[in-house]
Amino acid sequence: MHFTDAIDGYARHLEVERGYSAQTVRAYRSDLTALAAFAAARAAAARGTETVAKTSAAVASVGTEAVTLELLRDWLWDGAQRELAKATLARRSAAARGFSAWLTRRSGAPVDPAARLRAPRPDKTLPRVITRAQMDDLLGGLAARADEGEPAALRDLTVIELLYATGIRVSELTGLDVDDVDLDRLTVRVLGKGAKERVVPFGVPASITVRRYLADARPRLAAERSGPALLLGARGGRLGPRAVYELVAGLLAEIPGAGPAGPHALRHTAATHLLDGGADLRAVQEILGHASLGTTQIYTHVSTERLRESYRIAHPRA
């Protein structure tokens, strides 16, 4: 099988059979396309024709029989030499292992060449968390802008209120339809990773903002193409993840603190504030939609670090 055909087939498998998000499928496709180019370059070098190694024709000519443990290790080593982040190398390793396992099942081969493939573990860094005072200031500023009557300003306030109140992912937020929000029960129904549905609670402040948005802003943003989407962009279509990222990044750029400034920072913040307030770890796991409790436990480390910092600042013998 040609490499490019196999990548197309594996991408369909991930999307249809495994229920992976479009973003994850794109990332894996990109990784495997890079692997195909690397395999083509190796083959071209062996023939002494390196100059054509990266053309589309050269890549398309490579067959999946080129996928060996040696090739995969060399590919990851090449990435490490080019100083790719450990998280990127770990994702590449996961993409290669999954792809190789899929090929092995389809071909009926007795041995999966990637079964012994390993990659560096991602660096474990504590996520960025916004303080409660900073969140109050951020929401207060957005509320003041929303009071001026611009529908986009009220929509932006709704975006931040929901991200912070629920801790949902940006893809889950932008995928919401109007009927997914229950303003009587103060819950929102989201479709998470692996097409798993869950119901997440939110508070009264968020419900007040959502009611205002539905009554005053959404009708003014709506267009023929809006459909059932809850959050709408300037042209009336469903608000996309990139627009949310740009909104959050712009807001967090004005707040002191190190670390990523995307929507995930609000997810981290929501989880940490829940634990700081006494929420049970398993309840937070359910709210966030984590498959493993271990994923949620990083927020206990965040809370511990905040406790230590408070101790160091406040205790006379710290």
Decide if 126 is inside a domain. no
Decide if 10 is inside a domain. yes
The reply to whether 264 belongs to the active site is yes
Q: Are 99 and 43 contained in the same domain?
A: yes
- Residues 116-168 pLDDT 10s: 887 666 655 556 788 889 999 999 999 999 999 999 999 999 999 999 999 99
The C-alpha angle with vertex 158 and arms to 142 and 132, in degrees rounded to 5, equals 60
Decide if 120 is inside a domain. no
Decide if 231 is inside a domain. yes
Query: How high is the pLDDT of residue 318?
Result: 46
Q: Are 49 and 8 contained in the same domain?
A: yes
Decide if 211 is inside a domain. yes
Three-class SS of residue 229?
Answer: strand
The answer to whether 92 and 75 have CB atoms below 8 angstroms apart is: yes
What angle, 0 to 180 degrees and rounded to 10, lies between the N-to-C axes of helices 151-166 and 264-276?
50
Catalytic residue (choose from 91, 169, 238, 273): 169
Catalytic residue (choose from 86, 212, 264, 306): 264
Site of tokens 């962009």: 233
- Residues 171-228 pLDDT 10s: 999 999 999 999 999 999 998 877 788 999 999 999 999 999 999 999 999 999 999 9
Decide if 127 is inside a domain. no
Decide if 121 is inside a domain. no
Q: Are 93 and 227 contained in the same domain?
A: no
Q: Are 89 and 38 contained in the same domain?
A: yes
Decide if 172 is inside a domain. yes
Q: Are 102 and 141 contained in the same domain?
A: no
Q: Are 76 and 178 contained in the same domain?
A: no
Q: Are 92 and 169 contained in the same domain?
A: no
Average pLDDT, whole number, for the chain?
Answer: 85
The reply to whether 193 belongs to the active site is yes
Query: How high is the pLDDT of residue 214?
Result: 97
Residues 6+ apart with CB under 8 A from 128: 257, 258, 259, 260, 261, 265, 268, 269
- Residues 195-204 pLDDT 10s: 788 999 999 9
Q: How confident is the model at residue 255 (pLDDT cuts 50, 70, 90)?
A: confident
Query: How high is the pLDDT of residue 52?
Result: 45
Which domain range does residue 99 map to? Answer: 3-107
Q: Are 160 and 82 contained in the same domain?
A: no
How many distinct structural domains can be found in the chain?
2
Q: Are 153 and 264 contained in the same domain?
A: yes
Query: How high is the pLDDT of residue 260?
Result: 66
Q: Are 10 and 50 contained in the same domain?
A: yes
Catalytic residue (choose from 155, 267, 268, 273): 267
Catalytic residue (choose from 13, 193, 220, 306): 193
pTM metric for this prediction? 0.63
Q: Are 144 and 183 contained in the same domain?
A: yes
The reply to whether 290 belongs to the active site is yes
The reply to whether 301 belongs to the active site is no
Out of 92, 107, 122, pick the residue that ends a domain. Answer: 107
The answer to whether 167 and 129 have CB atoms below 8 angstroms apart is: no
- Residues 3-37 pLDDT 10s: 888 999 999 999 888 888 888 899 999 999 999 98
Write down the H helix ranges in 167-240.
170-174, 204-212, 218-221
Three-class SS of residue 59?
Answer: helix
CATH code of the domain covering residue 293: 1.10.443.10
Q: Are 164 and 271 contained in the same domain?
A: yes
Residues 6+ apart with CB under 8 A from 258: 128
* Least confident span in 100-109, 183-192, 280-289: 280-289
The reply to whether 20 belongs to the active site is no
